[in-house]
Homo-oligomer: A and B are copies of this chain.
Amino acid sequence: MKRKNLMTPGPSPVPSFLREALAKEIIHHRTDEFRSILADVHQGLQNLLFTKNPVVVLSASGTGAMEAAVSNLFSKGDKVVAISGGKFGQRWTEIANNFSLDVIEFKINWGNAPEPKKLEKVLNENQNVKAVLTTLCETSTATVYDTESIAKIAKSAGAISVVDAISGLGQDKLLTDQWEVDVVVSGSQKGLMLPPGLSFLSISDKAKELLEKSDLPKYYFDLKKAISKHETNDTPYTPAVTLVVALAAALDAINKEGVKARWEKFEKLAKAAQSAAKALGLTILSSRPSASATAIKMPENIKSSQVVKILRDKYGLSIAGGQAQLKDKIIRIAHMGWINAQDLIACFSLLEAVLKEVGHQFKTGSSLMRLEEVIYG
């Protein structure tokens, strides 16, 4: 009978109106009915991404769309800069390496964001860089990167910008066309409030030119085919129909509330979470915290995996610990998609209970007081 709550940075909770959409009777994908739904999805994604570029829907989780970007935009030996400041930046490097690109890994400390000046230097020192592969919100450190500056620097160097916005989209500000971002990759299971299984990719005219030159093998993720099918609101292969139907409902709800209004809401929740953590004598990992999730360092004597475990086993609340080099060092609390202020208040209340249990000292209720101050003003 334990009630469960999900505040991990993906999957994030799926509201009942979308779970009902997922349970609808299945329809065939080669029909006007489905094409009309896919047309709404295409338009809704353009609104969410602030772009006029086509946004294609792929039936795969986010990593599939990251691979699609690499295998469709580049050729063997192409030089790319991959910004690597966490697990998902590393993934760009891994994919690009697997596809035999010449990868310049621009490493930054986990928890930091790339400094534009330093990126500029890397691009000045290396000629013929085809692209900068970067991340909107690096989920493993809950850090938002200055995507506007990164895209500008890439453009000045004659490179395209390819942004993994899987966890950030919907919470962290992203103005695709205004910032001249060439390719944005995202997925269904974070800000879009859906289960995993769909990913998206927006493609600028400049990126489209690269598709023509690419010599890397692909089939399922062939973006030229996907773009040509996009024009008639179709897909090259059988799409994940139910997820697409639910996505139309999710985009409708998000666009009705307003994407910019939602950015403000999540920015406020993020500020509140940061402030609440400090009230407990804890520090924030990131030098540039994301609006999508908050990474909080645990005191030296407390293993974060223990905190995560007690929260889940005793109270039914799932948050995330740290990955790789941050294992046992941080906890990560998501505020994305369907998660709201009540969830955050309940989360910090349970966190206080668990921190007390593991021996951390602080003033009872102090984090909740800070949350209320920031959220209600």
- Please list the residues of chain A having a beta carbon within 8 angstroms of any beta carbon in chain B: 4, 6, 8, 10-11, 13-14, 19-20, 22-29, 31, 59-64, 66-67, 70-71, 94-95, 98-100, 187, 189, 195-197, 216-222, 237-243, 312, 318
Residues of B within 8 A of A71 (CB): 217
Nearest B residue to A64, CB-CB: B220
Number of this chain's copies in the assembly equals 2
Q: Which residues of B contact A11 (CB under 8 A)?
A: 26-29, 238, 241
Least CB distance, A295 to chain B, in whole angstroms: 17
| Contact of B63 with A60 in the complex, beta carbons under 8 Å | no
Apart from A60-B60, A94-B219, what are 7 other A-B pairs with CB-CB below 8 Å?
A4-B25, A6-B27, A11-B238, A13-B26, A19-B23, A59-B61, A240-B243
Cα(A259)–Cα(B67), bound, Å: 37
A70 neighbours in B (Cβ, 8 Å): 219
| Contacting residue for A196 out of B59, B95, B98, B217, CB 8 A | B59
Residues on B with beta carbons closer than 8 Å to the beta carbon of A98:
217-219, 222
Q: Once the chains bind, are B26 and A219 in contact (CB under 8 Å)?
A: no
Partner of A241, one of B67, B196, B222, B239: B196
**A61/B19 in contact, CB under 8 A:** no
* Most interface-central of A14, A28, A239, A312 (chain B CB within 10 A): A28
Knowing A67-B219, A71-B217, A219-B99, say if A195 contacts B60 (CB, 8 Å).
no
Interface of A is mostly: loop
CA gap between A25 and B20 in the complex, in Å? 11
The reply to whether B240 and A196 contact each other, CB–CB distance below 8 Å, is yes
User: A64: which B residues are within 8 A, CB to CB?
Assistant: 59-60, 64, 220, 237
A217's closest neighbor in chain B, by CB? B99
Q: Judge whether A189 and B28 touch: CB under 8 Å.
A: no
Tell me whether A22 and B67 are in contact in the complex, defined as CB-CB below 8 angstroms, given that A217-B100, A318-B31 are known contacts: no
Instruction: For the complex of A and B, list the 10 residue pairs with the smallest distance between their C-beta atoms, beginning with the closest.
Output: A197-B240, A23-B23, A195-B242, A63-B237, A19-B23, A61-B238, A196-B238, A64-B220, A99-B217, A67-B220
Asked if residues B6 and A195 are in contact (CB atoms below 8 Å), the reply is no
A-B contact pairs, 17 of them (CB 8 A): A11-B29, A14-B26, A22-B22, A28-B318, A29-B196, A59-B60, A59-B197, A70-B219, A98-B222, A100-B217, A195-B240, A196-B239, A197-B240, A197-B243, A217-B217, A220-B221, A240-B240
A14 CB contacts on chain B under 8 angstroms: 25-26, 242
User: Which among A70, A95, A219 has the highest number of chain B CB atoms within 10 Å?
Assistant: A219
- Of A10, A64, A195, chain B has the most CB atoms within 10 Å of the CB of A195
CA distance A67 to B60 in the complex (A): 13
Task: Choose one: B4, B61, B67, B217; the contact of A239 (CB below 8 Å).
Answer: B61
Distance of A298 from chain B, by nearest CB (Å): 19
A189 and B238 contacting across the interface, CB-CB below 8 Å: yes
| A108 CB to nearest chain B CB (Å) | 23
**How far, in whole Å, are A78 and B240 apart by their CA atoms in the complex?**
32
Q: Which residues does chain B contribute within 8 Å of A66, judged by CB atoms?
A: 220
Task: Collect the chain B residues with CB atoms within 8 Å of residue A242's CB.
Answer: 14, 22, 195, 197
List chain B residues, Cβ under 8 A from A195: 26, 240-243
Q: Return A2 CB to nearest CB of chain B, in Å.
A: 12
Residues on the B chain within 8 Å of A197, using CB: 59, 197, 240-243
What is the CA–CA distance of A366 and B257 in the complex, to the nearest angstrom?
58
Chain B residues closer than 8 Å to A196, beta-carbon distance: 29, 59, 238-241
Closest to A241 in B: B195
Q: Is the CB of B22 within 8 A of A63?
A: no
Report the separation of the CA atoms of residues A349 and B222 in the bound assembly, to the nearest whole angstrom: 42
